[in-house]
Structures are given as C-alpha cells and as structure tokens.
Amino acid sequence: MSFKRLWAMLWARNHEFFRDRAAFGWNFMFPFLLVAGFAVIFGGDEPKDFKVGIFPCDSVQAAYDVDECLPPTLKGVRQVQYLGFENLEQGLDKLRHHRIDLLIEKGSPPFRYWVSNSSPKGYTVEKILIGNLVDDADRVMARQEVVTARQIRYIDWLFPGIIGMNMMFSALYGVGFVVVRYRKNGVLKRLKATPLTAFEYLTAQMLSRLFVLAFTLIILWVGCDLIFRFTVEGSYVDLLLIFLLGSLSLTSLGLVIASRGTSEEFSNGVLNFITWPMMFLSEVWFSIEGAPHWVKLTAKAFPLTHMLSAVRKIMNDGATLADVSVELAFLIGFTLLFLIVGASLFSWNK
C-alpha cells in the first residue's frame, strides 16, 4: 500500500468537491432551512395526530389491549393514539423525549395527567382531554401534575435527526453515485492501469467523505447553535465519536452501492430505495413509538437509527459511551460488514 498514491487520490477528491460551489453550498443551506422551518412550524400550528400514554397497564395490556386501561369518556376520541405503560417513570421518560404528547393515570376521577410545556402537540391534546373529561355538572374530571424533571425542547430532539439526514444523503450519494459515474465514464478503467489498488482507492474515497462530513458537521453545529442555543448534557467528545462512527458506517454502505454497476439511473433508484425508508424509520423527524413491532425491528437494520439513538441519549440525557455501548457495537458491526462486502464486490469496469 502506497500512502503517496492514497494521498494523491484523497487530495484530488477533496478539490473536486470544493470546486462544485452549488453542491458545496447546498450541503450547508439545506439543513439550516430544515431546522428553521421545523422551528417555525411546530411553534404555533396544531398538528392533527396525537399520542397519549396510559398507566399503569400490565405488559399484555400495554402491548395489545390498551383500551382496557382507558377511562370510558376517552374511548373513541378521534385522532388520538393510546399507548400503555406499566408505570409512571416509563411514561414520563417517553413524555420528556417527545415520544408521546400527554400521559394520563387511569383510576377514578379526577384523573391525573402530565403534559410537557415544550411539546408542540401538548397544548392541543390537553384541550382535547379536558373537553372529554367533563361531567354533567361541567366539572373537569382531570388534574394536571407538574413534570419535575428537565424538559427537552422539541428542537433539541429534532436537531440530531436533521444532521443525521444530511450526513446520510451526503455519504450515500457522495460515494455511491459518484463512483458509479466514474465507472461509466471510464475513469476507473484508467485508474486500474496505474499501481493504485482497489483497497487504496476505496480507502481514499471513504476518508475523503469522512473529512467532508466532519467539516460540514462542525460548521452546521456551530451555526445552528448560535441561533437556537442547543443544550448538550453529555460530552462533546463522545458526540464527535458517535458522529464519526456513524459517518464511517454510512459511507461504507455507499461503497457497497458503488462496488458494481455503470448505470447512474439504476444507482439513483437504489439510493432512493435505501435513503427514504431510512429517513422515515430512523426517527429523523418524528418518533415511531406506537408503530407495529415489525416496523421497529426494520428500523434497527439501518445504521442511522443507532447513530441518532446514541446522539440523542448523549445530547439530551447526558449518557456516556458505556450507556450507548449497544449502539456503538451496531455501528462498528455495520461498518465492518459493509466494508467487507464492498471490497469483495468492487470492480473497476463493470
């Protein structure tokens, strides 16, 4: 392996990226616009779909028969999905992390309920709840309780998802689509005639994209933090490590797509087939709490899911690397798997 040849390819690839001013500028502008747009949208409008937690429910009721936990007056309320929890702590954890919009305790009136002041849907679902818990004497049969733990702003929960989505598109399209185009244009065939090995070429591509992702991440984080003042409870070093592992995993997935093929149209279809399900199932914009079990299992097959889960735990809960060891193991495993598959399938000309 020649580090001189590797460095030459890395330098050339970075120059190519920075010379494309439109693509370079969009990498910064797109996440900024998304963060600002969601901050405005969820600041005042009233969404239609809500998730309400009920406790205490036993494990069977929580999974299959939540209606048995509901007060009679709340059964049949439209546009509300009910989720059962076994205890208060479990429900409050979901409420603080914006996985549910309101939590209510079953029993006899007045019913106790909890709502997060930072939730974009909390105010609306609270009004729906009060409107359905009024007796014949116009007395409200519900009593609000205070959420004592630190409440997480919705923008703090959303921001890692926006960053992760930008990294996903940049890694997959920046490697998968570009290498296929090089193969189609004959660039790879000419490189094959040089002493450059496939391992050196793929390593250079991965390191180049890792540099671009890290550079973009730092600029976006600093810029958005100046505007929205994000709160990070954990270590910035741990956050950086998770983002780097996530970048490696997503980039290595792009190498699998780039390993074969000369059709840009087909590669674009494959990338869309991977990126869009990953974007919706990895909780980039919204939680999939309450989704069918098979949907949650499918989401775990994506590296972006584990990266966002670890980042949110560190950023919002102050978790350490030991607390996110499962996510770390998945990211490392995905990276190794994709690299092995990509290197095994790689072809210079077909």
Decide if 317 contacts 297 (C-beta within 8 A).
Answer: no
User: Residue 185: its pLDDT value, please?
Assistant: 83
The neighbour count for residue 261, using CB atoms within 10 Å, is: 17
Q: What is the DSSP letter of 133?
A: S
Q: Which of 140-154, 251-265, 318-332 has the lowest mean pLDDT?
A: 140-154
Query: d(Cα 335, Cα 339) in Å, to the nearest integer?
Result: 6
Q: Please report which helix (H) or strand (E) contains residue 334, including its range.
A: helix 325-345
Question: What residues does each domain of the chain span?
Answer: 3-40+153-345, 47-145
Mean of per-residue pLDDT scores for the chain: 80
Give the orientation angle of helix 236-258 with respect to helix 325-345, to 10 degrees.
30
Picking from 131-140, 189-198, 309-318, 340-349, which range would have the lowest pLDDT averaged per residue? 131-140
pLDDT of 309:
92
Q: What is the pLDDT of residue 330?
A: 94
The SS3 assignment for 103 reads: strand
What is the pTM (predicted TM-score) of this model? 0.68
User: Per-residue confidence at 73, pLDDT binned at 50, 70, 90?
Assistant: low
pLDDT of residue 275: 85
pLDDT average, residue stretch 314-330: 91
In the CATH hierarchy, which top-level class contains the domain 47-145? Answer: alpha beta
Does 277 sit behind a cis peptide bond, omega within 30 degrees of 0 on the bond before it? no
pLDDT in tens, 2-55: 788 888 888 887 777 777 665 566 666 666 766 665 555 454 444 447 888 888
**In 3-state terms, what secondary structure has residue 226?**
helix
Q: What is the DSSP letter of 283?
A: T
User: Residue ranges of the alpha helices (H) in 229-263?
Assistant: 236-258
pLDDT at 78: 67
Residue-level pLDDT at 135: 60
Contact (CB, 8 A) for 281 and 305: yes
Exposed, middle or buried by CB within 10 Å (0-12, 13-18, 19+), for 44?
Answer: exposed
Q: pLDDT category, 304, cuts 50, 70, 90?
A: very high
pLDDT of residue 46: 44
Instruction: Label residue 126 by pLDDT band (50, 70, 90).
Output: confident
- Residue 87 burial (CB count, 10 A): 10
Q: pLDDT band at residue 93, thresholds of 50, 70 and 90?
A: confident
Distance in angstroms (rounded) separating the CA atoms of residues 201 and 294: 38
Q: What's the pLDDT tens digit per position in 198-245?
A: 778 888 888 888 888 888 888 888 888 888 888 888 889 999 999 999
Helix (H) or strand (E) holding 112: strand 111-115
Rounded to the nearest 10 degrees, the angle between the axes of helix 154-172 and helix 303-317 is 150
* DSSP states along 157-216: HHHHHHHHHHHHHHHHIIIIIHHHHHHHHTHHHHHHTSS--HHHHHHHHHHHHHHHHHHH
Please tell me which of 136-145, 287-296, 320-329 the model is most confident about, judged by mean pLDDT.
320-329
Rounded distance, CA 253 to CA 13, Å? 19
**Where is pLDDT greater, at 108 or 255?**
255
